[in-house]
Amino acid sequence: MDIWHLLIGRPLKTAEAQSEEIGTSEGLAALSLDALTSVAYGPEAIAIVLVGLGVAGIRYLLPESLAITGLLALLVLSYSQVIDAYPKGGGAYAVSRENLGTGASHLAAAALLIDYILTVSISIAAGIGALTSAWPELLPWTVPMCLALLAVVTFLNLRGVGESARAFLLPTLLFIVGLLAVLGWGFVHPHLTHPVHPVPVRPPHASAFFLMKAFAAGCTALTGVEAIANGVPLFRKPRQLRAKRTEWVLGILLATMLIGIAALTIRFGVIPGGNQSLLSKVMAAAVGRSWAFFVVSLAITAVLGLAANTSFGGLPLLASLLARDRFLPQSFAIRGDRLVFERGIWVLAIASAILLVAVRGNTQALIPMFAIGVFTGFTLSQLGMVVHWVKTRPRGWQMRALLNGMGTVATGIATLLFVITKFPEGAWLVVVAIPLLIWMFRRVYRYYQRVGQELGIGRVPDPVEPRPHPIVVVPITPTLTELTRRALDHALSLSDQVIAVVVLFEEPGDDNASTKTAKQFLQAWEVWNPPVRLSILKSQYHSVVKPLLRFISTLERQADERVLVLIPEAVPEGLGASLLHNRLGSVIRQALRRRTDVVIGTVPMHFPDSDRKSTGQKEKPGLQS
Amino acid sequence: MDIWHLLIGRPLKTAEAQSEEIGTSEGLAALSLDALTSVAYGPEAIAIVLVGLGVAGIRYLLPESLAITGLLALLVLSYSQVIDAYPKGGGAYAVSRENLGTGASHLAAAALLIDYILTVSISIAAGIGALTSAWPELLPWTVPMCLALLAVVTFLNLRGVGESARAFLLPTLLFIVGLLAVLGWGFVHPHLTHPVHPVPVRPPHASAFFLMKAFAAGCTALTGVEAIANGVPLFRKPRQLRAKRTEWVLGILLATMLIGIAALTIRFGVIPGGNQSLLSKVMAAAVGRSWAFFVVSLAITAVLGLAANTSFGGLPLLASLLARDRFLPQSFAIRGDRLVFERGIWVLAIASAILLVAVRGNTQALIPMFAIGVFTGFTLSQLGMVVHWVKTRPRGWQMRALLNGMGTVATGIATLLFVITKFPEGAWLVVVAIPLLIWMFRRVYRYYQRVGQELGIGRVPDPVEPRPHPIVVVPITPTLTELTRRALDHALSLSDQVIAVVVLFEEPGDDNASTKTAKQFLQAWEVWNPPVRLSILKSQYHSVVKPLLRFISTLERQADERVLVLIPEAVPEGLGASLLHNRLGSVIRQALRRRTDVVIGTVPMHFPDSDRKSTGQKEKPGLQS
């Protein structure tokens, strides 16, 4: 077993694919952490905008949070309807493909891909942010810690997340109960702890645009509420009921936390900024830097890591669906040894790593890019649901369509608000990236169409029948070796027309030596005298490949016959040995493969790195002469 | 022509290899810059030790420099004798291999390899140091500027340094004349310029060990005096005379500069340290920050760049000699398109880059590693010369042997001094690296010996004769395509025993779909009905490679016949297209190549990236069915 498989585990049989069924509390752990953990950065995103008005601006945090909670209620209602309508899982891609057509589904897919990458980056950054808020001495290690956490999540996913939901329960519980307890304590015993900086009661005047800007920033707190509707098939029966219950519990918990954080922020006069997160400051104000503060900080880091993990379940699956529909490279649809979509996992990990390094692990720097993808997905899902109700017309479809219609309008407006207010700060990147992705989907699709045509997929191929032997060309070195012998031996078993080709060139300022080499070679060849033709190519340049390519092209053109090139190749075993062999065989192979249509064969001879003689062991009797 | 060749130039014909013959002044430019430019760091290395005694310690700089000059005189005399004895070039490797045996030559080779790398790093660091001394605002860019200069030198060498010596003349002249003029001016008009900080006349007490430590540090000023003796064949006839004359001129110039710098340092009371080099401070004290100061600073940077260039001539050549003697991988002996030893150039560039980054471009941080390699080479050369005189006994051999004997003792003691005094500061690294390199030489040699035996080099191979056809195995996908047809068509031209193999596996939780695929495939196969056997392999795992490997091994064992595996492979053209094809063909090929001794062939089918149809263009009539 190699090192790689020690790390990610042995290959799994298809039958070993796990199918776990979950209840409400596991559902909360497995599917809603992305949404719940938004409290680690959402309220701060609003507060950062508000303090543009000075300290008193923070007064607006409560009404803004109430508005966000209103939108949350609408979303929870809407997604309960999605759960009703799509028991097999109603991702934005599936819903919009079914109801709105390919164009909209591409928009949804592009938005979701970007969203998954940003969720991972933000969750990891915020998770490490929670750590460095609690232990400021870790601050210089922010980026390495982010990458380390990302690496852990990536490897867990490459292994395949087995018994995930149950393992997630404990940290999730600790996070929910702990955070609610800390917030509650803050309301009951404020004066036991930090001094309170009273915020002026009267908030300053604020323009509607300013308030909308803060509202848009707060929309990041709602990311992830769609995940439960995507994962309905994971629930135990009755699936839809359990999924809806989970959605509602999520809504209530998230709303409580958002309002609680907003109220305490105002009560303690906490101001965002510096190296400590707003949530951490609120917690420290509520319970001091006590054991409770540190335990809940650790729990927040843990659940943010798990939230990143959720996206690792999402993007590879979505990419595999897109690949199956031929909008992404097929490799995204191939399961690895551990039955996971490895390619998708790698792409997600690398893209997130680049983002994390680019913003140096700063959560708030990622906020302006976030939420666009999510809210585009929300809007398309809702719109798709409206179309769904209008098409299917079940009992009470008008009410349902109205509800989803309201959802469409609200999330659509939020998306636009977000793009407009955050455009120069980073939203432009997403606005540029989405059309690029869609363009890519289409290009990939067209390419596969064309290749499919050339390959004649779906047609029965033309008949094949036995045909004359090809000319076999064997490039050899000017030193006769066992490898030369093997290659010619194999060549003679394939055809009676075998040509050995040797390229000779001179060393600069050393004419005699090269003439000597040529003479010695010819003498040895005559003594050996194998039943094949010998062609000597003299080269003025210091290159074997070019004369060989020219020779083979000429042969193909002249002979009007098939050509097979058989390359003798030393196969070093181990890194040490491979540095000691020139890679001429490989170079010739690559050049021929790129430039010609000839069939290329290699005759391998193994050379082990260490001193044991393994060529003997490796050879099968059938292969020896 | 691709981008790479635009950068390094078109491939050269062997006949285009340049052979320039040089005179004394060109010799000085091409072969002695490494030595002359040592004044940029050698005196400073002594001064840094001396100021350990306080400012007055600098008084010792003059006697130390005189002692170094004495050693220089001895070396110049010794190397004149080397030039006499080895008109074909007497590098330490060649001299010690001839006179002292393989062991000593390995020691010399290892020392020289390390020396070349350090010369490049130190020259580049000191060159950029001269720049930042003159323009301190460039200081933050030290490391990037070092790497940029290194890159320029590397690319010039990958192109092949054509008319080098003559191009080097002007900067060399400017450097020598300019520096001597500035130093001279310093003696004549000191009061016109900087204020003089008088150094106490009486130097403090210093232990013998302390003074030896300073002397050892100063030995770095002598690095490079051996280069002329290595390059005798480059000179115009009478070669030896011209080479010796160049060696003497070098000695006089270097001695003058060393003593001049020492005297001025004391006169102006210049103290080493900070971000300006000692030489730059002395120059600034002599002529102020005038145009002369800036011009000579630039000239120093230029000649240090050229000194680095000299090592780029040395290491690749030495490595190619070692490779020809089978002590290094053969690739070091292969000339590239531009007839240079590319591998050696790359290794030198990368190693120097690592060193430069590790010390952040600080010249003095490299000093403790430097000089060990050089002085080990000096000692071995001198010792080899003693053996040479004793063996050959020409007229006056006693005097000659005595002179080289004195050289051996002096340089040997200097080497030991250097190792002892600089051990903890970095010399230990070289002391560890040299035995490692020697161990590597031997291991490589042993490996090639073994491979040579297995390949039967030097023997006439066993006879070859026509033999029966092999079994041809063609792995195919469960979708019949034009590629399948081509592969089977080629297979049938090679043998009448063709087996098509298809691997089927299930998707997790999707049994019906995979059964459907299998059924469809079998139906299509029956309709097509090619005259080959079909084997279906069912896999419990998600892997094509493993069942295929098992099938082929079984076949080899059972059939007692040769097996040829013919892999149909889509060859995407361009990066875009290559991302869209799975690399299954490659993966199978690599696995077979590593694990078995079967002959592996690929049947290529080209797919261009863009929309133009180039498969048609690429195909030759002889290849079409």
Render pLDDT for B424-447 as a digit per residue (tens, 0 to 9): 888 899 999 999 999 999 999 999
Render pLDDT for A572-589 as a digit per residue (tens, 0 to 9): 877 677 777 777 888 888
Please list, in sequence order, all residues whose beta carbon lies within 8 angstroms of the beta carbon of residue B505, skipping any fewer than 6 positions away: A14, B514, B538, B539, B540, B541, B542, B543, B544
What residues of A are in contact with residue B621 (Cβ under 8 Å)? Answer: 560
Interface contact flag, B623 A496, Cβ < 8 Å? no
**Count of residues making up chain A:** 625
- Beta pairing class for B533-539 and B498-505: parallel
Question: Residue ranges of chain B with pLDDT lower than 50?
Answer: 1, 162-163, 612-625
A540/B contact by beta carbon, under 8 A: yes
Closest-CA residue of chain B to A16: B508
The SS3 of residue B599 is strand
The SS3 of residue B206 is coil
Closest-CA residue of chain A to B449: A611
Interface contact flag, A542 B468, Cβ < 8 Å? no
Tokens matching residue A355: 């983002």
Quick one: CA dihedral A487, A493, A494, A496, positive or negative? Answer: positive
The DSSP symbol for A325 reads T
A598/B contact by beta carbon, under 8 A: yes
The answer, yes or no, to whether residue A163 has pLDDT greater than 80, is no
How many angstroms away from the CA of B18 is the closest CA of chain A? 9
Interface contact flag, A464 B507, Cβ < 8 Å? no
Q: Closest to B11 (Cβ–Cβ): which among A463, A496, A543?
A: A543
Question: What pLDDT sits at residue A618?
Answer: 41
**Burial profile A297-327: b = 16 or more Cβ within 10 angstroms, e = fewer:** bbbbbbbbbbbbbbbbbbbbbbbbbbbebbb
Closest-CA residue of chain A to B452: A481
Q: Closest to A460 (Cβ–Cβ): which among B467, B524, B556?
A: B524
Q: Closest to A457 (Cβ–Cβ): which among B456, B479, B489?
A: B479
How many angstroms away from the CA of A388 is the closest CA of chain B? 27
The answer, yes or no, to whether residue A623 has pLDDT greater than 60, is no
CB within 8 Å of chain A, chain B residues 304-363: 329-331, 334-337, 339
Phi first, then psi: what are they for B89, rounded to 5°?
105, 120
Interface contact flag, B599 A602, Cβ < 8 Å? yes
Secondary structure percentages of chain B, helix, strand, coil, to 5: 70, 5, 25
The helix-helix angle for B24-31 and B239-268 (nearest 10°) equals 60
How many angstroms away from the CA of B405 is the closest CA of chain A? 36
Peptide bond into A238 cis (omega under 30): yes
A424/B contact by beta carbon, under 8 A: no
Shortest CA distance to B202 belongs to which of B60, B348, B75, B84? B60
**B598 touches A623 (CB < 8 A):** yes
Alpha-carbon distance of A199 to A149, in angstroms, equals 38
pLDDT, mean of residues A118-126: 95
A612/B contact by beta carbon, under 8 A: no
Please list, in sequence order, all residues whose beta carbon lies within 8 angstroms of the beta carbon of residue A357, skipping any fewer than 6 positions away: A143, A147
Residue at A526: amino acid letter: E
CB within 8 Å of chain B, chain A residues 142-171: none
The answer, yes or no, to whether residue A1 has pLDDT greater than 80, is no
How many angstroms away from the CA of A583 is the closest CA of chain B? 9
Residue at A428: amino acid letter: W
- Name residue B558's beta-bridge partners: none
Closest-CA residue of chain B to A514: B14
Render pLDDT for A98-120 as a digit per residue (tens, 0 to 9): 889 889 999 999 999 999 999 99
Interface contact flag, A560 B622, Cβ < 8 Å? yes
The answer, yes or no, to whether residue A374 has pLDDT greater than 80, is yes
Tokens matching residue A68: 């966000």
How would DSSP label each residue in A211-233? HHHHHHHHGGGGTTTTHHHHTGG
Question: What pLDDT sits at residue A614?
Answer: 42
**Count of residues making up chain B:** 625
What residues of B are in contact with residue A450 (Cβ under 8 Å)? Answer: 611
Alpha-carbon distance of B570 to B558, in angstroms, equals 31
Tokens matching residue A241: 């009921």
A439/B contact by beta carbon, under 8 A: no
The answer, yes or no, to whether residue A611 has pLDDT greater than 60, is no
Interface contact flag, A481 B606, Cβ < 8 Å? no
Alpha-carbon distance of B325 to B319, in angstroms, equals 10
Alpha-carbon distance of B324 to B334, in angstroms, equals 10
Interface contact flag, B454 A581, Cβ < 8 Å? no
Interface contact flag, B507 A335, Cβ < 8 Å? yes
Q: Which residue has the tokens 């006769």?
A: A480
How many angstroms away from the CA of B151 is the closest CA of chain A? 24
Interface contact flag, A597 B580, Cβ < 8 Å? no
Peptide bond into B572 cis (omega under 30): no
∠ CA B162-B168-B171, nearest 5°, is 155
The answer, yes or no, to whether residue A64 has pLDDT greater than 90, is yes
How many angstroms away from the CA of B230 is the closest CA of chain A? 18
What residues of A are in contact with residue B447 (Cβ under 8 Å)? Answer: 576-577, 580
Domains of chain A: 27-448 (1.20.1740.10), 471-623 (3.40.50.620)
Question: What pLDDT sits at residue A190?
Answer: 55
Task: State the number of CA atoms in the 13 A half-sphere of B189 facing the CB.
Answer: 10
- Name residue A600's beta-bridge partners: A565, B602
The helix-helix angle for A24-31 and A164-188 (nearest 10°) equals 90
How many angstroms away from the CA of A568 is the closest CA of chain B? 10
**B50 touches B61 (CB < 8 A):** yes
B560/A contact by beta carbon, under 8 A: yes
Alpha-carbon distance of B220 to B430, in angstroms, equals 15
* Structure-model confidence comparison of residues B313 and A194, the more confident one: B313
A590/B contact by beta carbon, under 8 A: no
What residues of A are in contact with residue B533 (Cβ under 8 Å)? Answer: none
Res. A55 pLDDT band, cuts 50 70 90: confident
CA B79 to chain CA centroid, nearest Å: 26
* Structure-model confidence comparison of residues A79 and A559, the more confident one: A79
* Structure-model confidence comparison of residues A375 and B6, the more confident one: A375
How many angstroms away from the CA of B386 is the closest CA of chain A? 31
Interface contact flag, B481 A562, Cβ < 8 Å? no
ipTM score of complex: 0.76
Question: What pLDDT sits at residue A621?
Answer: 37
pTM over 0.80: no
Q: Closest to A460 (Cβ–Cβ): which among B330, B454, B528?
A: B528
Alpha-carbon distance of B244 to A172, in angstroms, equals 82
What residues of A are in contact with residue B582 (Cβ under 8 Å)? Answer: 330-331, 334
Q: Closest to B460 (Cβ–Cβ): which among A480, A506, A613?
A: A480
List the single range of A266-275, A483-492, A605-614 with lowest mean pLDDT. Answer: A605-614
* Structure-model confidence comparison of residues A622 and B165, the more confident one: B165
**A180 touches A256 (CB < 8 A):** yes
Interface contact flag, B580 A481, Cβ < 8 Å? no
How would DSSP label each residue in B293-351? HHHHHHHHHHHHHHHHHHHHHHHHHHHHHHHHTTSS-GGGG---TTSS-HHHHHHHHHH
The DSSP symbol for A184 reads H
Please list, in sequence order, all residues whose beta carbon lies within 8 angstroms of the beta carbon of residue B579, skipping any fewer than 6 positions away: A329, A331
What residues of B are in contact with residue A541 (Cβ under 8 Å)? Answer: 11-14, 337
**B426 touches A562 (CB < 8 A):** no
**B213 touches B361 (CB < 8 A):** no
The answer, yes or no, to whether residue A338 has pLDDT greater than 90, is no
Alpha-carbon distance of B582 to A332, in angstroms, equals 9
* Cβ atoms within 10 Å, residue B473: 24
A504/B contact by beta carbon, under 8 A: no
What residues of B are in contact with residue A508 (Cβ under 8 Å)? Answer: 14, 17, 335, 339
CA A252 to chain CA centroid, nearest Å: 31
Tokens matching residue A65: 């949070």
How many angstroms away from the CA of A305 is the closest CA of chain B? 27
Question: What pLDDT sits at residue B61?
Answer: 93
Q: Closest to A623 (Cβ–Cβ): which among B562, B615, B619?
A: B562
Alpha-carbon distance of B598 to B556, in angstroms, equals 9
Question: What pLDDT sits at residue A236?
Answer: 85
Question: What pLDDT sits at residue B509?
Answer: 59
Question: What pLDDT sits at residue A230?
Answer: 83
A436/B contact by beta carbon, under 8 A: no
Alpha-carbon distance of A378 to A375, in angstroms, equals 5
What residues of A are in contact with residue B573 (Cβ under 8 Å)? Answer: 594
Interface contact flag, B556 A620, Cβ < 8 Å? yes
Closest-CA residue of chain B to A592: B604
**A600 touches A589 (CB < 8 A):** yes
Torsion of CA B230, B235, B239, B240, to 10 degrees: -30
**Burial profile A544-564: b = 16 or more Cβ within 10 angstroms, e = fewer:** bbbbbbebbeebbeeeebbbb
**Averaged confidence pLDDT in chain A:** 86
Strand order in the sheet with B471-476: A533-539, A498-505, A471-476, A563-572, A599-607, B599-607, B563-572, B471-476, B498-505, B533-539
Q: Which residue has the tokens 């290094």?
A: B328
Tokens matching residue A420: 């407009």
